[in-house]
């Protein structure tokens, strides 16, 4: 048996003697029957087709170890002699009973482990007996066979540390243990024997104690011929140790940080969740805010301490901001450990939060800080959703990019030849071992971190097979949809790809469980407000995108107008150069920053229009971080050009207006849940479309940019009359005003104007209870100004 265990730290006293049989079980030698707790058994096949059994057992009270050897009699060869490595003396094996097996026992009176015992056997003629591989018998002490499950580092029933890692193609595996005092080299290396420490394609080993060691990694030797054979991160590690960073060059010749990251031997500290529970909000009631943990509070304007700014603690400190906006779900950009040059959408690990998102910049601190944040959000009725990337990693073929999976078993975890046109390491998501890794990761975040749901970035790649082909029924997506843990969470597919910066809606297999980020909503709303869309496209988006979600429900559509890639909301109305044609933006008459009051007023209306359409459309509104504060990237669509949130802007008149409007719209959705938070689509008989002055809309006219929507409220005996009546909504993307005639309503009722985005602040929206609310009778004409939207609600007038 091969091992790289060091010899004992001191020369232990040893004695060799035969053993008296003690009622051995059937087909078991008398020596092995004596093995007790803290015992490990090994069987060697010899080069003469014999068998040698070895048992290693700990003495009572941790006083040392006993190594017992048993070999069958060799007939004509006579007795056997055991020859310890490094010693010229031979010790004869004695029969345990007349005609029985030959046995010997070696006692070590030291408690420190691990170490190894190495020996050969010789017959009476002096001929050596070795293993069938021609090696000496090499037995580890203090190291056990281990268990193949669970993967990663765990504690076995007897208190030993168990290590398990999957690798189908590795011919060997070495567990590397590092001390706590730094240094590049491992303090201990344990070479795993494929005949002892491998079950199927899982390598495993246990250690009675890892005291004195701080971190660990695995060397598979797969790339040793290329000079790449450094310790790799355990894919299932729950706590990350310190990583070693340096400068290197990737396969494209670019200078990039070189990372060697190891797992920590520390357990995550116990966490007191108290009475925390998932809010379990119905899907249709969500109002989502997408945020980057670092950028949310990194700016000094957040007025947080340096060790809290840009961390999970910073998110917790600003929970009142979410409450003011009416947000009840926070969607965090990826929080897994990621490549700091490529960004958060290029992870290298899936079971721990990013260390930099904690006050101490350590894995243990990040774990506690994130759990504190989740607990705070839940206490305020806010769910926590995570963007996750399981389609690719930050790893590459170069040594500086080999961190974990690629060096352990790249052929199983990755699509071998990648995907045409894609230079990234593309994960083979629907391979059984990769699928298990992903499912185990997701369950870990739900069960251990109390996360409420996930948004899967680059979702089109999740339907890929092992050769990059599309699958009609991807096993991973189906497994997530019906998993007993994950099926109770929010699961959302996002088609945006950080690999090629594409964002194309596609038919997604859903099993009526998967929701989707609605890219079509963003594009069609932008086109309409720019004056380039058919009004029929806007109508489809307003009513829940039935063309995409007819087999599910409108709540499965997560709507947005801007996201963390592409133009910010302010830039959508400020930049529209030829290079931005795919963004469908409009600069409102002047490119970039402007001091022209007419241009600024049009931009302000357009911002209001975007927010208004987002919130009054059926589906889930998703706000992007910074849009409420007027964040701008100066017209850049690059994700890397996004800046931190400017908290000083919250005190400006513009931001007070925008945040107040968002708060009003959130409250409106809640108050009119019968329309905006429906579990099903609106009934056709309750929807009426009009053009100017109650005329038929010009559905097929590409120059028609005016549309009115009349929604009849459904009577519900369980709801009070104060809930609200019909809604009449007007959308005008023309350069001039248009006349809207309001339809007749029930006798004793009148129309109340709640929103007119063309009016000055603060009068452009009203909560309906104000005496200044504009009242209009049925069949009255109302001038809808250029580039504006108007909302009316019918109310019964008290006599």
pLDDT at 38 over 50: yes
Strand stretches in 727-787, DSSP E: 727-732, 738-741, 749-756, 774-776, 781-784
Distance separating alpha carbons of residues 39 and 55, to the nearest angstrom: 7
Distance, in Å, from the CA atom of 313 to the CA atom of 307, rounded to the nearest integer, reads 9
Q: Does residue 674 contact residue 714 with C-beta atoms inside 8 Å? A: yes
pLDDT at 397: 56
* pLDDT value at residue 783: 95
Mean pLDDT of the chain: 87
Is the pTM here over 0.85, yes or no?
yes
DSSP 97: S
Q: HSE (CB half, 13 Å, CA atoms) of 500?
A: 12
| pLDDT tens column, 616-651 | 999 999 999 999 999 999 999 999 999 999 999 999
Q: 87: burial class by Cβ within 10 Å (0-12, 13-18, 19+)?
A: exposed
SS3 371: helix
Q: How far apart are CA 203 and CA 167, in angstroms?
A: 7
Position 571 confidence tier, pLDDT thresholds 50, 70, 90: very high
Q: If DSSP codes are grouped into helix, strand and coil, which group holds residue 176? A: strand
Q: Lowest mean pLDDT of 34-43, 226-235, 370-379, 750-759, name the range.
A: 34-43
Confidence band for 424, pLDDT divided at 50, 70 and 90: low
DSSP one-letter code for 639: G
Longest CA–CA separation in the chain, Å = 120
The predicted structure's pLDDT at residue 148:
95
Which CATH code is given to the segment(s) 145-264? 2.60.40.10
**DSSP-derived 3-state class of residue 624:** strand
Domain 39-142 has CATH 1.10.10: no
The confidence score (pLDDT) of residue 125 equals 80
Neighbours of 702 (CB within 10 A): 11
- Whole-number pLDDT of residue 186: 87
> pLDDT of 639-693, one tens digit each?
999 999 999 999 999 999 999 999 999 999 999 999 999 999 999 999 999 999 8
Are the C-beta atoms of residues 385 and 454 closer than 8 Å to each other? Answer: yes
pLDDT digit string (tens) for 342-361? 899 999 999 999 999 999 99
Predicted confidence (pLDDT) at residue 77 exceeds the cutoff of 60: no
**Which of 14-18, 99-103, 447-451 bottoms out in mean pLDDT, i.e. has the lowest?**
14-18
Comparing CA positions, the residue from 648, 650, 647, 644 lying closest to residue 310 is: 644
Q: Which of 655, 609, 653 lies closest to 631 in space, CA to CA? A: 655
Residues of the chain with CATH 2.60.40.10: 145-264
Write the burial class of residue 287 (CB in 10 Å: 0-12 exposed, 13-18 middle, 19+ buried).
buried
The CATH 3.20.20.80 domain(s) of the chain lie at 288-537+553-564+642-655
Chain centroid, CA 596 distance in Å: 45
Protein fold of 288-537+553-564+642-655: TIM Barrel (3.20.20)
Distance (Å, whole) CA 231 – CA 186: 9
Q: What is the pLDDT of residue 35?
A: 41
pLDDT band at residue 772 using 50, 70 and 90 as cut-offs? low
Mean pLDDT of the region 133-138: 88
> Between 230 and 707, where is the model more confident?
707
pLDDT at 295: 97
Burial 761-794 (b: 16+ CB within 10 A, else e): eeebbbeeeeeeebebebeeebebbebbbbbbbb
CATH superfamily of 683-796: Golgi alpha-mannosidase II (2.60.40.1180)
Q: Tell me which range, 241-245, 615-619, 695-699, is most confidently predicted by mean pLDDT.
A: 615-619
Compute the distance between CA of residue 271 and CA of residue 418 in angstroms, rounded to an integer. Answer: 40
Contact of 662 with 654, CB cutoff 8 Å: no
Region 579-587 average pLDDT: 95
């Amino acid at each position: 048996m091969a091992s790289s265990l060091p010899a004992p730290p001191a020369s232990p006293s040893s004695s060799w003697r035969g053993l008296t049989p003690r009622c051995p079980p059937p087909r078991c030698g008398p020596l092995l029957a004596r093995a007790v707790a803290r015992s490990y058994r090994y069987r060697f096949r010899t080069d003469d087709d014999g068998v040698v059994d070895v048992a290693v057992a700990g003495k009572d009270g941790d006083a040392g170890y006993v190594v017992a050897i048993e070999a069958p009699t060799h007939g004509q060869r006579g007795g056997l002699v055991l020859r310890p490595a490094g010693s010229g003396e031979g010790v004869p094996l004695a029969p345990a009973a007349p005609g029985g097996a030959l046995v010997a026992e070696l006692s070590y009176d030291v408690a420190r482990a691990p170490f190894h015992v190495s020996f050969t056997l010789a017959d009476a003629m002096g001929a050596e007996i070795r293993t069938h591989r021609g090696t000496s018998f090499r037995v580890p002490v203090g190291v056990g066979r281990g268990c193949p499950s669970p993967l990663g580092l765990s504690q076995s029933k007897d208190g030993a540390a168990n290590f398990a890692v999957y690798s189908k193609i590795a011919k060997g595996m070495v567990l590397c243990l590092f001390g706590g005092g730094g240094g590049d080299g491992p303090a201990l290396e344990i070479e795993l024997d494929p005949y002892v420490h491998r079950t199927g394609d899982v390598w495993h080993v246990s250690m009675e104690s890892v005291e004195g060691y701080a971190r660990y990694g695995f060397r598979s030797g797969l790339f040793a011929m290329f000079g790449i054979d450094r310790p790799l991160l355990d894919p299932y590690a729950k706590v990350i140790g310190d990583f070693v960073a340096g400068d290197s060059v990737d396969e494209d010749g670019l200078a990039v940080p070189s990372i060697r990251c190891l797992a920590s031997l520390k357990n995550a500290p116990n966490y007191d969740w108290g009475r925390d529970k998932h809010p379990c909000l119905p899907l249709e009631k969500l109002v989502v805010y997408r945020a980057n943990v670092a950028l949310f509070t990194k700016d000094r304007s957040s007025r947080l301490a340096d060790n809290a700014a840009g961390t999970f603690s910073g998110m917790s400190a600003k929970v009142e901001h979410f409450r003011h906006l009416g947000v009840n779900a926070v969607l965090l950009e990826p929080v897994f450990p990621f490549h700091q040059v490529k960004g958060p959408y290029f992870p290298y690990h899936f079971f721990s939060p990013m260390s930099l998102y904690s006050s101490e910049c350590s894995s243990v601190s990040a774990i506690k800080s994130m759990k504190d944040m989740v607990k705070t959000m839940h206490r305020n009725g806010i769910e926590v959703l995570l963007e996750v990337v399981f389609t690719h990693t930050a790893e590459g073929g170069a040594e500086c990019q080999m961190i974990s999976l690629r060096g352990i078993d790249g052929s199983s975890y990755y699509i071998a030849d990648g995907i045409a046109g894609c230079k990234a390491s593309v994960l083979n998501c629907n391979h059984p071992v990769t699928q298990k890794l992903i499912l185990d990761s997701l369950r870990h975040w739900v069960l251990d971190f109390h996360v409420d749901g996930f948004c899967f970035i680059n979702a089109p790649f999740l339907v890929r097979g092992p050769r990059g082909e599309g699958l009609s029924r991807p096993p991973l997506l189906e497994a997530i949809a019906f998993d007993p843990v994950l099926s109770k969470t929010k699961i959302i597919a996002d088609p945006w790809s950080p690999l090629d910066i594409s964002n194309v809606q596609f038919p997604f297999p859903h099993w009526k469980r998967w929701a989707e980020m609605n890219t079509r909503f963003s594009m069609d709303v932008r086109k309409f407000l720019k004056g380039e869309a058919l009004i029929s496209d806007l109508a489809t988006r307003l009513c829940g995108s039935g063309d995409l979600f007819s087999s599910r429900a409108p709540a499965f559509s997560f709507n947005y107008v801007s996201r963390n890639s592409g133009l910010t909301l302010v830039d959508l109305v400020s930049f529209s150069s030829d290079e931005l044609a795919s963004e469908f933006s409009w600069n409102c008459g002047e490119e970039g920053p402007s001091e022209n009051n007419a241009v600024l007023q049009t931009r302000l209306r357009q911002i209001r229009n975007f927010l208004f359409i987002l919130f009054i459309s059926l589906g889930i509104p998703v706000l992007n971080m910074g849009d409420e504060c007027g964040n701008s990237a100066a017209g850049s669509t690059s994700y890397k050009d996004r800046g931190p949130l400017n908290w000083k802007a919250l005190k400006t008149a513009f931001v007070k207006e925008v945040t107040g409007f968002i708060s009003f719209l959130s409250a409106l959705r809640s108050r009119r849940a019968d329309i905006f938070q429906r579990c099903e689509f609106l009934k056709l008989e309750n929807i009426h479309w009009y053009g100017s002055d109650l005329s038929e809309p010009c559905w097929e006219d590409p120059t028609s940019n005016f549309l009115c929507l009349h929604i009849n409220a459904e009577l519900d005996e369980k709801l009070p009359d104060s809930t609200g009546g019909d809604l009449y909504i007007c959308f005008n993307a023309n350069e001039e005003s248009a006349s809207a005639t309001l339809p007749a309503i029930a006798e004793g009722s009148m129309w109340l104007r709640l929103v007119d985005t063309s009016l000055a602040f603060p009068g452009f929206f009203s909560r309906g209870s104000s005496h200044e609310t504009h009242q209009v009778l049925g069949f009255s004409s109302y001038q809808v100004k250029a580039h504006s939207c108007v909302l009316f609600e019918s109310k019964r007038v008290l006599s």
